[in-house]
Each structure stands twice: as C-alpha cells, then as structure tokens.
Amino acid sequence: MDQNAIAIESLLIKDWASGLRITTIPQAMRRLGFSNDIDQRWEMANHMDALWHSTLEAPEKIQEVNSAIGLTTAEDQAGLTEHWRDQAGSWDRASILLTDDEKLIARHILYRRRYRSSLPSLEEIAASVGTGLEETASGIRMLAKLGFLAIAAVHDVAGYSLTEDHGRFLDGLGFSFHTVTLDGDERFGIP
C-alpha cells in the first residue's frame, strides 16, 4: 500500500471508531487533500469493506448507537442490537465508495427510469444534480465499475444502461446519505 492509501486507511479507522461517523473514502481523500482518483477509491473500498462492517457490528459501536438515541432498557437495547446488525450487514460498499454526487446521479437515474421510459442524458443529469459534464461522466464510470450501470466503453458513457440486477443497490442504505459538515469543512456521513 502506498503512503496515500495508508493515510486514508488511518483516517477511516479513526473516524469509524469514534461516535456515529460513517466517513466515506471520498470524504477521507478530500480531508487529506488528495485528488479524486476513481481507481484508488475502488481499491480502498475493496480493501476496507470488511473492516468497515466489523467496526459497525462491534459491541462498542452498538452501545454508542444505543446511547445516542437514548435507549436505556435492556429490552430496547436488545431489539436495536438485532436490528442494527441486520441493517449494517446489508449495507453495500457503495456507501463508503461513492461521492454524494455519484449517489445523487444514481438516484436521479432511478427516479427518471421510474417515471419515463428513457434514461436521462448526461446533460439532464448534470443539470439536475448540479455537476459539470465531466464530473457526471466520471460518476457514470464509477457507477458502471460498481455494477449498477453498464457502458460500452470507458470513453462512451453517454450510452449507459441500468444493469439487470441494479435493484440490489437499493438494499440497506442504497444511495442514501446524510453528510455532516463541521467548521473547517470536515465532512463525514452518519447513519
């Protein structure tokens, strides 16, 4: 692992161990001043996914969740523990891999598909999400790499389509996110 990957991993482990933070790889990269490298994010997500799930399912994390939402009785805590483990186990690595804008791109495509027979153009996605065309194309490439979309070639993202099993990405957190921004522009996700 290179020095950037080690720094990203250290930041993620620290954040995941504290409070209810679900810091994503792109958020960690941004905080560390690293450029948005799709291949590096992909490698980090593959490397960190199991560790992320183990931190979510640790007894200490479950106790933090119980405390944060004010559960005090043993019965309430046991109910949350079972529900939390089921929920966390269903969260796809897309939750820590994708940027917020990539999640919005996916949500826009799904919304459009639900109400119209055609998928939106890159220009329509960019206008709806508030991204530039290059950032939208990059998002399409990442969603294709993830298996949510299919593209004919890396440079031909305009002809994308939904994969047959795209619905599996709606389990767990799906493409939902709740990003917190602290003073100093520190960003992280919360469940």
Per-residue pLDDT tens over the stretch 35-76: 999 999 999 998 887 777 677 777 777 777 777 677 778 787
Domains in the chain: ranges and CATH: 3-96 (no CATH), 99-170 (1.10.10)
Q: What is the reported pLDDT for 164?
A: 95
Per-residue pLDDT tens over the stretch 141-164: 999 999 999 998 777 888 999 999
SS (H, E, C) 155-186: CEHHHCEECCCHHHHHCCCCCCCCEEECCCCC
pTM: predicted TM-score of the whole model, two decimal places: 0.82
